[in-house]
A = this chain, B = another copy of it.
Amino acid sequence: MASKESNRTFIPSWYEEPPKPGSYRSIFKWGDPEGFKHPNKRLFSLMKKEFNLGDDYFKEPKTLGQEEVRFTDTPVELEESHIRTITGIVGEENVSTRDYDRLKYSSGKTMEEILELRKGIIREVTDLVVHPRNKQEVGKIVEYCNNFKIPVYVYGGGSTVNFGYRPALGGITLVLSTHMNKVVRINEVNKTCTVEAGIWGPAYEEVLNNSRERFSTKHNYTCGHFPQSFEYSTVGGWIVTWGSGQNSSYFGDACDLVIAMEWITPAGSFKTHEYPATATGPRLLDIMKGSEGAFGILVEATLKIFYYQPRNRFPFSYIFPTWEEGLKAVREISQGEFGFPGVFRLSDPEETGVALKLYGVEGTPLDTAMKIGGFKPGKRCLFLGTTEGERGFARNVKRKVAGICFRNHGMTLTGYPARKWEHGRFTDPYMREDLDDYGIMLDTLETAVTWENLPRVHEEVRKYIKSRPKTVCMAHASHFYPQGTNLYFIYFCQMDDPEEYIKFQSGVFDAILRGGGSLSHHHGVGRMIAPWMEEHLGKEQMAALKALKKHFDPNNIMNPGGQLGLDFKPEELPGRNWRIDWKKHFGRG
């Protein structure tokens, strides 16, 4: 390891030990325990420069969270008789009251909780972890819990970034991904696939990609949904949070893919029909989308599937002189009525700077070409994408994209940056661990915008984030529609105090609302965003959602404690700090 700051070859010895079994780190670390992706040299230099840090700062990690999980002040409060009954339903081997399991299945990947877990701070944990084997067991459990008013939380893949299932009132947590993770049926006539809600992204895609062999179908298929959390999320999670994948511009958002669903709620179970359209009143299929566990439990879903035809994926990349010209081009593409590319991303100038480092474009002949072409760092914007669909369709999309980019002063960078981006699409989150190890916080927030208010949202949010000295704020648009897109903000700075972070993050939400953006484009609401919901939607719309909540879950046992803001009592609205004492709130503790 180098010791002098001036030594240009210094690289921190990024931590590479797998998390200790039973440790906090094993809960908060992203992805594969043995998986790592370290910032490259250029990115490391950028951080030192932005945060005004020397090599010395990176000599020793600050917190690692390798301590063993153990707690004494949060005993299991669920009555023994309930535990016995539920154990009777799912079997001895499918329940746990171990401290570690209770914490693991109460935790997601929200920045705030990662900061806390690194310090061993524990908030609400579930009383009993339950791994149901099938939907019949889920039905029995919901009925039982409703009778005895026991809170029920659902854990899918565990990648929530907004406290989507934090067990504020204790109770039980159902883990759907342990057993309820099978493909039920591929229906090649209807071009659909029915799955249990707990199926993991990669398992689902693997079956579809190989369905000729597995199911003797005529074609192989793809699911079309690839969020960054793909490897650590479940199909049910995609749907109940209105998820959106990185190829959504062509395939649609998660909820566009769903044809039918089966739900278990305290008010009864039902399965919606599989018609591709129907005019029989408001559709329960739609009403349940995005309900985030607050109405009931999604146990099965039938989704559209698509032909697996990677040979029609033509990658492309362009550089634009300015953000404005880039925006003009992507809007023209989105409104061109020739279909959409799958992947479709425009980075703002600050993100472009980082991306060119991250994807190894800096220092290549492409870099030289940009310099010669007069595309200035700090102004220029990277645009990349990939086509999907039938070959003639894909070719036409590529041709039209090229024409529109050219007319808006874009220069092709070949398919190279797009391929490099694709290569790292699921592994970038691993870098967050390295940064966190050294007290550097990296988080993201995303918002939906119309074309009209996009510039204002971008400006408001950047203005706020950049008002904090030494903070990097990158943004891209990555989910396109004729009427608008999203803005995805990634910000990082030296920060490891959760309290400081909550305050800072609250300001981002305020800035989004000031600009006129939606509170969430595809991460959902959870408890984190809930306090802003009423201001955002208005009390009339919130009242309708609350009426549905009351109908499906009259005893408030489904994911209670602030989810979607549906069970705030008006007189106790928690305001900007969602950290209220929920047990006290509901007079239960």
What are the residues of chain B within 8 A of A268 when measuring CB–CB?
A: 539-540, 543
Q: Mark A298-335, 1 if CB is under 8 A from B, else 0.
A: 00000010110100000000000000000000010001
Q: A residues within 8 Å of B by Cβ? A: 187, 189-192, 241-244, 253, 259, 265, 267-270, 272-284, 286-292, 304, 306-307, 309, 331, 335-339, 388-390, 392-393, 396, 399-400, 448-452, 479, 481-486, 517-525, 529, 533, 536-541, 543-545, 547-548, 550-552, 564
Complex CA gap A280/B484 in Å reads: 17
User: Which of A338, A399, A533, A552: most chain B CB closer than 10 A?
Assistant: A338
Do the beta carbons of A520 and B279 come within 8 Å of each other? yes
Q: Is the CB of A336 within 8 A of B390?
A: yes
The answer to whether B273 and A282 touch across the interface, beta carbons within 8 angstroms, is no
Q: How far is the CB of A302 from chain B (nearest CB, A)?
A: 9
In the complex the two chains form, what is the Cα distance from A292 to B281 in whole Å? 7
From B337, B388, B537, contact of A280 by CB (8 A): B537
Query: How near does chain B come to A225, taking the closest CB pair, in angstroms?
Result: 14
**A451 and B396 contact, CB distance less than 8 A:** no
**With A268-B540, A392-B396 in contact, do A521 and B277 touch (Cβ < 8 Å)?**
yes
Closest to A254 in B: B279
Most buried by B among A187, A337, A533, A547: A337
Residues of B within 8 A of A552 (CB): 544
Complex Cα gap A519–B277 (Å): 11
Q: A280 CA to B390 CA in the complex, in Å?
A: 33
Cα distance A539–B551 in the bound complex, in angstroms: 13
Asked, given contacts A337-B390, A452-B187, whether A277 binds B481 with beta carbons under 8 Å apart, the answer is yes
- Which of A190, A273, A280, A486 neighbours the largest number of chain B CB atoms within 10 Å of its CB? A280
Interchain CA distance A389-B523 in the complex, whole Å: 32
Nearest-CB distance from A552 to chain B (Å)? Answer: 7
Are B284 and A290 touching (Cβ within 8 A)? no
Does the CB pair A484–B275 fall under 8 Å?
yes
Which residue on B lies nearest to A563, using beta carbons? Answer: B281
B contact residues around A272 at 8 Å (CB): 541
- Given contacts A275-B449, A393-B393, whether A533 and B288 have CB atoms under 8 Å apart is no
Q: CA separation between A162 and B338, bound complex, in Å?
A: 37
Whether the pair B286, A289 counts as a contact (CB closer than 8 A) is yes
List B contacts of A192 (CB < 8 A). Answer: 483
Residues from chain B with a CB closer than 8 A to the CB of A518 are 273, 275, 278-280
Q: Across the interface, do A452 and B281 meet the contact criterion of CB distance under 8 Å? A: no
Q: Which 6 A-B pairs have the closest CB atoms?
A: A276-B481, A547-B551, A242-B279, A338-B390, A286-B286, A268-B540
- Check B536–A280 contact: CB distance below 8 A: yes
Decide if B282 touches A548 in the complex (CB within 8 Å).
yes
User: Shortest CB–CB separation between residue A413 and chain B, in angstroms?
Assistant: 24
